[in-house]
Copies of this chain bind each other. A is one copy, B any other.
Amino acid sequence: MPNSRRAGLLCFFVFPLIILGLSRPALAQEPASLPIMPLPFQSAPGQGEFLIDGSFGIELTGFTEPRLEHARQRFLDVLSRETGIPLWREAVVNKANFTMYTAGPSLPVQQLGEDESYRLAISTSGVQLSAANPLGALHGLQTFLMLVRVTPKGFSVPAITIEDKPRFPWRGLLIDSGHRFVRLPVIKRNLDAMEAAKLNVFHWRFADDAGFHIESKRYPLLQEKASGGFYYTQEEVKEIVAYARDRGIRVMPEFDMPCHTASWFRAYPELGSGHIPGESSAIDPTRESTYAFFSGFIQEMAELFPDAYFHTGGDECDFHEWESNPSIRGYMRVHGIQDGAALQAQFTARVQKIVAGNKKIMMGWDEVLQPGTPRDVVIQSWRGPKSLADAARNGNRGVLSFGYYIDLNQSAAEHYAVDPLGDPSAASLSPDEKARVLGGEATMWTDIVSDENLDNRVWPRTAAIAERLWSQEDVRDVDSMYRRLAVVSQKLGYYGVRHRLITEEMLERMSGDPDPVALRVLADVMQPPKGYERQQLRNIGDFTPLNRLDDAVPPESETARVFDGIARRIAAGKAAPEDWQQAKQWLLLWQDNDARLQPLLARSSLTQDLEPVSRNLSKVATIGLQALDDLSHNRLVNADVRNRNIEFLDDAAKPHAVLLLMVVPSVEMLVRATRTE
């Protein structure tokens, strides 16, 4: 590259950034929006701010218990990390200017619907947090931590009075330890983040076709033959249950049946319904011995998990296995069972009786709702909010997961738009029926996510879902959500969540470069394909390394999202001068990146297939720069060129190397905004 070219580029890049630096608002000084997520039920701003310094002291009053002591210590740990002031040590002995009052205990086993409200009053001189029980107190501490910011005077929180309570009582995160074993530290830090986001149900799924990952003392062959050596001991489970309770979180286990159960048969093949041994994936629901087994198993697990709810799955049965088994066909004929669905309903009814016999309430996926399903069975809907409204009319309670499948790489805005009561048919529900819609759960399936990158799939997007479930129905401003999500995302780092570190670490590994600048530029605008397309494009086995770029990048490209907003304003003729500059700056960066990146990609087996992707980004950027120039000069463009460009963009918008180049639609928008000769 000749010198003059580089010098020119440098000037170009430095200049617009000066303006950006001067013009952008600092989050900490943005008075209009509280940097809290989920937004509280009510808040009234006060005058001034409460300073946090080495004299900070916190006192617990009213009811107390070890859980509240732990909560205070955790609170001080995070506050110390937020401020760098070693409060974890001093705040216990200092004179208290933060008083937490807890009126009484919560129930010995956390129950659905317990009071979670709190009141947080912050003035310049002190803080009062009060709550009916420890659950509300825990939430109030988290709200305070989110309010902390640095100011010219030091670290502080604004004076404010908050009255807060959740809209829905069931706000969950499912972590699937069935497809892949998820190690304990990962579970723990996600529970920490759940506490920060005020989620209160950890739905823990232990088994799938791929593996069975929890210790059974009664049926030890399960972990011996089906866990691959990796399972949670019962001691570890108890540790997690206690860890979650400390954070105001219930732990509900899921044992999915009668399908997705191939792993069980590696230990107990007689449970399976396939007539070819080792090729079964569904339980044989026609043998009495099956129910004897599950009677013992469910009893053991019901004792291990104190929660009142017990999830038995029930999703996605492929009835072919039953229908092709002569013995099962015979049973169906004899008992007048018409089809697989009816057979599953019979199985579900018997399992429900076992669950109920252990004083637990059964929960299952959509499919368990059948005529005759007992009223207390809770439906978890993966099909949509309509089935929840239907269930509510039927007298059953339900929890929404449709729309909250965080493994499918949708945007935070897409998840945020989904409301458990959002189906049109829900509008006609009576208040009692509406109350049967308990809330929702984000679902972190691990078919194609490992515990290395799990954090960056769950966070920060799940905080947007948590807001949907906690905050009032009319809290819907997407721009505000994204602004606050950025703050929450940073704060979660203080809880030890690794979502912001993962991409960089994986890029370094892929490239073998401790500072992979050009690969970062590319990665920054890439996303894994949405929905199930990624699964289809990659041939993933249970132990396939998940160390490629589609594993590394977050599900939502921040840069592409912001660029899209700019492109929209430009295409609509509503752009500010900064928008034009920013767009040009980005497009130049992307255009030039390929020349630097291309020779590096060949050096690693994990980056070789990115060569066409990188070339595409460069060419897309060139087209975008041309469109930008045409638009800025109001120039008429040649229709053939424009069509060829659109054709190229349409192809570039498709998945390549299991990745989407997320800026393509925005560039196409710019091209389509130009006028032809």
> Hey, what's the 0/1 contact readout for A73-98 against B, CB within 8 Å counting as 1?
00000000111111001101100000
Q: Which residues of B contact A5 (CB under 8 A)?
A: 20, 24
A158-166, A423-431, A557-565: which one contacts chain B? A557-565
Q: Told that A4-B24, A152-B602 touch, could you supply 4 new A-B pairs with CB distance under 8 A?
A: A4-B582, A93-B229, A150-B605, A501-B501
Interface residues of A in 23-63 (CB under 8 A from B): 24, 26-29, 54
Inter-chain contact B152/A596, CB cutoff 8 Å = no
A1: CB under 8 A from chain B?
yes
Question: Within 8 Å of chain B (Cβ to Cβ): is A7?
Answer: yes
| A486-B2, A582-B4, A603-B29 as given contacts; A149 in contact with B450, CB under 8 Å | no
Are A596 and B84 neighbours in the complex by a CB distance under 8 Å? Answer: no
Within 8 A of B (CB), among A82-132: 82-86, 89-90, 92-93
Bound complex: CA of A386 vs CA of B470, how far in Å? 69
Closest B-chain residue to A24, C-beta based?
B1
User: Contact between B7 and A21 (Cβ–Cβ < 8 Å)?
Assistant: no
Which of B7, B8, B155, B512 is close to A150, meaning CB atoms less than 8 Å apart?
Answer: B512
- Bound-complex Cα distance A130 to B450 (A): 34
Say if the beta carbon of A17 comes within 8 Å of chain B. yes
**A481 → chain B, closest Cβ, in Å?**
13
Q: Interface extent on A, as a size class?
A: 35 or more
Residue numbers in B under 8 Å from A543 (CB-CB): 54, 86, 89-90
- Decide if A15 is an interface residue (CB 8 Å cutoff): yes
Tell me which of B18, B513, B578, B604 contacts A592 (CB under 8 A): B18
Task: Sort A-B residue pairs by CB-CB distance and give the 9 closest, nearest first.
Answer: A84-B547, A21-B596, A3-B562, A11-B13, A150-B512, A85-B545, A490-B514, A28-B512, A150-B604
User: Which of A92, A149, A181, A604: most chain B CB closer than 10 A?
Assistant: A604
> In the complex, are the beta carbons of B18 and A596 less than 8 A apart?
yes
Neighbouring B residues of A561 by C-beta, 8 Å:
3
A380, B583: Cα distance in complex, Å: 61
Q: Which of B7, B228, B581 contacts A559 (CB 8 A)?
A: B7
Which stretch (A247-255, A359-367, A404-412, A515-523) binds chain B? Answer: A515-523
Question: Which residues on the B side are within 8 Å of A520 (C-beta)?
Answer: 10
CB<8 Å pairs between A and B, sample of 22: A2-B24, A7-B585, A10-B521, A11-B13, A12-B14, A13-B14, A13-B15, A14-B518, A17-B517, A18-B596, A21-B517, A21-B518, A26-B512, A83-B509, A84-B545, A84-B547, A84-B551, A89-B181, A89-B543, A150-B509, A151-B605, A486-B514
For A501, the chain B residues whose CB sits under 8 A away are 501
A492 to chain B, nearest CB (A): 11
Counted per complex, copies of this chain come to 2
B contact residues around A14 at 8 Å (CB): 11-13, 517-518, 521, 588-589, 592, 596
Beyond A3-B562, A3-B581, is A85–B547 a contact (Cβ under 8 Å)?
A: yes
| Contact partners of A582 in chain B: CB under 8 A | 1, 4, 7
Q: Which of B9, B26, B606 contacts A603 (CB 8 A)?
A: B26
Structural contact, A18 and B152, CB atoms closer than 8 A: no
Chain A residues numbered 209-223 whose CB sits less than 8 Å from any CB in chain B: none
Complex Cα distance, B513 from A489, in Å, reads 12
Q: Does A390 contact B (CB under 8 A)?
A: no
Q: Hey, which chain B residues are within 8 Å of A589, CB to CB?
A: 7, 10-11, 14
A22 interface contact, C-beta 8 A = yes
* From B6, B487, B512, B578, contact of A27 by CB (8 A): B512
A505 within 8 A of B: yes
Shortest A610–chain B CB gap in Å is 13
Q: Does A300 count as interface, using CB distance less than 8 angstroms?
A: no
Query: A243 in the interface, Cβ–Cβ < 8 Å?
Result: no
Residues of chain B lying within 8 A (CB to CB) of residue A20: 1, 4-5, 8
A224 at the interface (CB under 8 A from B): no
Q: Specify the chain B residue showing the minimal Cβ separation from A591.
A: B14
Report the Cα distance A60→B351, complex, angstroms: 46
Asked whether A152 lies within 8 Å of B603 as measured between CB atoms, the reply is yes
Does A315 count as interface, using CB distance less than 8 angstroms?
Answer: no
Q: Give A659 Cβ to nearest chain B Cβ, in Å.
A: 17
Please determine whether B524 and A86 come into contact, CB atoms closer than 8 angstroms.
no
Contact of A3 among B3, B12, B86, B559 (CB under 8 A): B559
Chain A contacts with B in 476-506, Cβ cutoff 8 A: 483, 486-487, 489-490, 493, 501, 505-506
Nearest residue, chain B, Cβ from A82: B509
Complex Cα spacing A3 to B525, Å: 13
- A605 and chain B: residue at smallest CB distance: B154
> In the assembly, what is the distance between CA of A319 and CA of B15, in Å?
60
Contact of A546 with B84 at beta-carbon distance under 8 Å, contacts A13-B15, A152-B602, A589-B11 already known: yes
CB of A461, distance to nearest CB on chain B (Å): 15
Most buried by B among A7, A20, A230: A7
Given A4-B582, A483-B2, A501-B501, is A604 in contact with B151 using a C-beta cutoff of 8 Å?
A: yes
For residue A153, CB closer than 8 A to chain B, the reply is: yes
Interface residue? A600 (CB, 8 A): yes
Report the bound CA distance from A596 to B13 in whole Å: 13
- Nearest residue (CB) in B for A578 is B1
Task: Identify which of B1, B489, B524 contacts A6 (C-beta below 8 A).
Answer: B524
Report if A6-B558 is in contact (Cβ < 8 Å); known contacts: A17-B11, A489-B514, A595-B18: yes
A window 603-650: CB within 8 A of B = 603-606, 608
A518-543 interface mask toward B, CB cutoff 8 Å, 1 = contact, 0 = none?
Answer: 10110010000000000000000001
Give the CA-CA distance A561 to B3 in the complex, in Å. Answer: 9
Q: Does A508 contact B (CB under 8 A)?
A: yes
Chain B residues near A54: list those with CB within 8 A: 543-545
- The 0/1 profile, CB within 8 Å of B marked 1, for residues 641-670 of chain A is 000000000000000000000000000000
A21 and B150 in contact, given A514-B489, A558-B6 (Cβ under 8 angstroms): no
CA distance A604 to B156 in the complex (A): 11
A581 near B514: Cβ-Cβ < 8 Å: no
- A510 in contact with B22 (CB, 8 Å): no
Across the interface, A84 reaches (CB within 8 A) one of B2, B17, B452, namely B452
A599 beta carbon closer than 8 Å to chain B? yes
Q: Chain B residues with Cβ under 8 A from A584's Cβ?
A: 7
